[in-house]
C-alpha cells in the first residue's frame, strides 16, 4: 500500500524546534555539555500554591468527568476579574471568554472559523510559526508583514497593498513580541484597530508575554483601545506568566461573535481543559501574585548578565523591555543558520536562527533566558572563548 500524505502536510515546512532538537541530538552524541537557550520553555517551577490547588482538585471525583467545551464559568469569571484588575477591561464571562488547551491551540484553530480557501491572513515576519501553518491548514494565503529594526519591529500598515487588505480576513499581532522582544505602544494599537474597522479584518492579538516585563514597564492589552472589541480577540496564556507550559491552559477574550465561532470549532475538535487544571488556573489568576515579581526579577537578572556578556563578546544587542528573549544581530561572515550551528557545534550552546521565524528574521538569532545565572555565565564564557571580537 502506498501511503500518501495530504497536500497540506506535504507543503508544511519542518517545525522549527523539531529541527533544532535533531541538531541537539547530534551534538549530544559527541558527549558535549549542551546549554539550551533555544525553545522558550521556562525552567522555573510552577508556584507551590497553584500545584496544591491542582492536587486538591484532582482528588475530587466531580473533576474526573468531561469538562465544558468553553470552560468552567468559575474559570471564565476568574479571567474576567483578572482582566479588569490588570488592564481595566470589562468582559462578559459567558460570551467574551473561552478557555483553551494552551494559546497555541486557539491560535491554530481560529483560521478554521473564518478563513476560506484563498482568503488572506496578515502575518508578522518574523513571527510565531503557528500563524503561518494554521493559515495553511485552513486553505488560506499568508501575506507577510515585515518586522524591521527601522520600524521598531512593528509592521508598517501603509506598505500593505489595498488589494491585499480588501481580501484579508485575519491579522495576527503579537506584542510583546516573539521572537524580536519588541513592544507596541497605544498609538500602534490604535492604528491597528482603525485598519481593522476600515477593512473588516479580525485582529488576533497573541498576548502571551504581557506579564514578563522589566524596569517597571507594563504592556498593554489591545482591548484597552476604544472599539477594539468590535474587531479583535486576544489570546493569553498561563504558560509563561506562571511557569505552566506543560499544564496546557490558556484563554481567548474579546468580541463575542469571534469567541463563539472559535468555540464552535473547538466543540468539534476537543473536549476542553481538564477541570482540575482550570481550578488551579483560578488559583493562579486570583491567588497570591507575589511569585510574579520573583519570576520577573529572575529573568531581568539573567537579561542583564547575558546582554552585558554578549556585548563584551562583540555582539550588537539592545536590552528588551519584555519577554524572556534576546534578539541578537549576527556577526559578519555568518547567516543566522550558520551562526546557530557554529554556536552549537563549537560551544554547545543552543540558540534559534532568526530566519526560522520568517525571511525578515535573517540577520538575527533568538536567545531564550531559560537557564539559571550560573549557566548564563558559562554561556558568556564559552562564546567569548570563540574569539568573535
**Is residue 343 within 8 Å of residue 369, measured between CB atoms?**
no
pLDDT digits (tens, 9 = 90+) for 225-251: 999 999 999 999 999 999 999 999 999
Give the C-alpha separation, 51 to 43, whole Å.
16
* Predicted confidence (pLDDT) at residue 16 exceeds the cutoff of 70: no
pTM above 0.75, yes or no: yes
Give the C-alpha separation, 281 to 286, whole Å.
9
CATH fold of 7-45+290-385 reads 3.90.1150
DSSP string, 259-280: HHHHHHHHHTT-----HHHHHH
Whole-number pLDDT of residue 380 = 97
Quote the DSSP letter at residue 361.
G
Q: How confident is the model at residue 26 (pLDDT cuts 50, 70, 90)?
A: confident
Quote the DSSP letter at residue 245.
G
Is residue 349 within a helix (H) or strand (E), and if so which, with residue range?
Answer: strand 349-350
Q: Domain boundaries in the chain?
A: 7-45+290-385, 48-286
In this structure, the strands spanning 35-36 and 349-350 are parallel
Whole-number pLDDT of residue 284 = 98
Through-space distance between the first and last CA atoms of the chain, rounded to whole angstroms? 57
140 alpha carbon, distance to own chain's centre: 21
Quote the DSSP letter at residue 64.
S
pLDDT digits (tens, 9 = 90+) for 238-293: 999 999 999 999 999 999 999 999 999 999 999 999 999 999 999 999 999 999 99
Give the C-alpha separation, 233 to 252, whole Å.
7
The answer to whether the 7-45+290-385 and 48-286 domains have the same CATH topology is: no
Whole-number pLDDT of residue 21 = 78
| Number of Cα atoms under 13 Å in the Cβ half of residue 64 | 5
**Is residue 100 within 8 Å of residue 252, measured between CB atoms?**
yes
| All cell numbers assigned to 56 | 486538591
CATH fold of 48-286 reads 3.40.640
SS3 state of residue 324: coil
**What are the backbone dihedrals phi and psi of residue 248, each rounded to the nearest 5 degrees, phi first?**
60, 65
Torsion over CA: 365, 371, 375, 377 (sign): positive
Of 247, 233, 235, 321, which is closest to residue 284 (Cα–Cα)? 247
pLDDT digits (tens, 9 = 90+) for 346-373: 999 999 999 999 999 999 999 999 999 9
Amino acid at each position: 500500500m502506498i501511503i500518501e500524505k495530504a497536500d497540506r502536510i506535504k507543503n508544511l515546512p519542518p517545525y522549527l524546534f523539531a529541527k533544532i532538537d535533531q541538531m541537539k541530538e547530534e551534538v549530544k552524541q559527541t558527549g558535549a555539555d549542551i546549554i539550551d537557550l533555544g525553545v522558550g520553555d521556562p525552567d522555573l517551577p510552577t508556584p507551590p500554591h497553584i500545584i496544591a490547588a491542582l492536587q486538591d482538585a484532582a482528588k475530587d471525583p466531580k473533576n474526573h468527568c468531561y469538562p465544558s467545551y468553553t470552560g468552567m464559568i468559575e474559570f471564565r469569571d476568574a479571567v474576567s476579574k483578572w482582566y479588569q484588575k490588570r488592564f481595566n477591561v470589562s468582559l462578559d464571562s459567558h460570551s467574551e471568554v473561552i478557555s483553551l488547551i494552551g494559546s497555541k491551540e486557539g491560535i491554530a484553530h481560529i483560521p478554521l472559523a473564518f478563513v476560506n480557501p484563498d482568503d488572506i491572513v496578515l502575518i508578522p515576519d518574523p513571527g510565531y510559526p503557528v500563524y503561518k501553518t494554521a493559515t495553511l491548514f485552513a486553505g488560506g494565503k499568508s501575506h507577510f508583514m515585515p518586522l524591521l529594526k527601522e520600524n521598531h519591529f512593528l509592521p508598517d500598515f501603509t506598505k500593505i497593498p489595498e488589494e491585499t487588505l480588501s481580501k484579508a480576513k485575519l491579522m495576527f499581532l503579537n506584542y510583546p513580541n516573539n521572537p524580536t522582544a519588541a513592544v507596541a505602544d497605544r498609538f500602534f494599537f490604535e492604528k491597528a484597530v482603525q485598519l481593522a474597522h476600515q477593512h473588516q479584518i479580525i485582529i488576533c492579538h497573541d498576548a502571551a508575554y504581557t506579564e514578563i516585563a522589566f524596569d517597571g514597564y507594563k504592556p498593554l492589552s489591545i482591548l484597552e483601545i476604544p472599539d477594539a472589541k468590535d474587531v479583535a480577540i486576544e489570546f493569553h496564556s498561563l504558560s509563561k506568566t506562571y511557569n505552566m507550559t506543560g499544564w496546557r491552559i490558556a484563554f481567548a477574550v474579546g468580541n463575542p461573535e469571534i469567541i463563539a465561532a472559535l468555540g464552535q470549532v473547538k466543540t468539534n475538535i476537543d473536549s476542553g481543559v481538564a477541570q482540575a487544571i482550570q481550578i488551579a488556573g483560578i488559583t493562579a489568576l486570583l491567588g497570591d501574585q507575589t511569585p510574579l515579581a520573583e519570576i520577573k526579577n529572575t529573568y531581568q537578572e539573567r537579561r542583564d548578565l547575558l546582554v552585558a556578556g554578549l556585548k563584551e563578546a562583540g555582539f550588537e544587542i539592545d536590552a528588551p523591555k519584555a519577554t524572556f528573549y534576546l534578539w541578537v544581530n549576527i556577526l559578519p561572515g555568518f547567516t543566522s543558520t550558520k551562526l546557530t550551528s557554529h554556536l552549537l557545534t563549537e560551544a554547545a550552546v543552543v540558540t534559534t536562527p532568526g530566519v526560522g521565524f520568517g525571511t525578515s528574521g535573517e540577520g538575527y538569532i533568538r536567545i531564550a533566558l531559560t537557564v539559571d545565572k550560573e549557566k548564563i555565565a558559562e554561556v558568556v564564557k564559552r562564546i567569548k572563548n570563540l574569539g568573535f571580537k
